[in-house]
Amino acid sequence: MSLANLPPLRDVIRAHGLDAKKTLGQHFLLDLNITAKIARGAGEMDGVTAIEIGPGPGGLTRALLDTPAKRVVAIERDDRAVAALQGLVEASDGRLTVIGADALATDVVAIADAPRAIVANLPYNVATPLLLGWLERADEFEHLTLMFQKEVADRLVAVPRTKAYGRLSVMTQWRMTAKILFDLPASAFTPPPKVVSSVVRLVPKPLDEIPFNVMERIVAAAFGQRRKMLRQSLKSVTPNVEAWLGRADILPTSRAEELDTDAFVRLARALKT
Ligand SMILES: C[S@@+](CC[C@H](N)C(=O)[O-])C[C@H]1O[C@@H](n2cnc3c(N)ncnc32)[C@H](O)[C@@H]1O
């Protein structure tokens, strides 16, 4: 079989008893126009190793194999889906590798050669921890194109002084340029989830010298008490808060949600431990 005459995804699902499991966040995209749109949204794929998390029956995987990506490495936790993807592996002429594993426990950098990009319709229950893990190693990727529930996507791109602005916004915008490409209604998925989804494209920024865990600690403390003034909320980071805020040129009476990412970078640089 070649990529041009693969069976419809519904037939693949039926043949492998791949009825969607809620616990695995399974909401499949069966419209190949939509999966092609996501793959196009990813941008430059020439010679890249595309990493897909949760290929399921393989709709997005087919679209990725249609790009000039050098290889596609797909990580899937559900054995039924791994079996269902074997036809695609055979049709891919050696370009597709499917790994049966939990993406949360997988070092994607170790299993895919550079240059790498991640493209995935993420299982919503693990989307945020997966993203935080990739942010930590942002310099390993060319770009990431990821489907989130819209509410999470809005947090990734949120600006200061808005309700959606928080820990995830700062950590993401510190490491990446993030843009929502388009939304998808629940009806685009089988079965439909309860929420609208958004495809977000993230492009890593050049790394600075700030350790990830230092930024995480500051941001978590600041937003852990988001309505308190920073001179109070940041006490858990260092006892000498006012001096620290002064070095960072930030008013001790400011609150976490008023600081942009640059201000958090100044804070991290000014921290003396
Ligand atoms: C939202 S579905 C997307 C399926 C497919 N990419 C599509 O667009 O039709 C999420 C997929 O992630 C898989 N999955 C869930 N948790 C996972 C994990 N921890 N590691 C790897 N795959 C996981 C599910 O089995 C499912 O196939």
| Number of domains the chain contains | 2
218: domain CATH number is 1.10.8.100
Q: Which residues line ligand 1 (CB under 6 A)?
A: 24-29, 53-56, 59-60, 75-78, 81, 102-104, 121, 123, 126
Here the ipTM equals 0.99
Q: Which residues constitute the domain of residue 17? A: 3-204
Together in a domain, 233 and 177:
no
- Give the distance (Å) from ligand 1 centre to CA of residue 120: 9
pLDDT averaged per 10 residues in sequence order, the chain, 273 residues? 89 96 95 98 98 98 98 98 97 97 97 98 96 97 98 98 98 98 98 97 96 97 95 94 97 97 97 77
Q: Are 200 and 181 in contact (CB under 8 A)?
A: yes
Together in a domain, 235 and 168:
no
The model's pTM: 0.97
Candidates 121, 147, 194: which one to mutate for ligand 1, based on the most atoms within 8 Å of Cβ?
121
CA angle 249, 173, 170 (to 5 degrees): 60
Q: What span, in angstroms and rounded, lies between the C-alpha atoms of 36 and 51?
A: 16
Together in a domain, 78 and 175:
yes
Q: What span, in angstroms and rounded, lies between the C-alpha atoms of 139 and 207?
A: 7
165: domain CATH number is 3.40.50.150
- Domain end (from 148, 176, 204): 204
* Helical (H) or strand (E) element with 120: strand 116-121
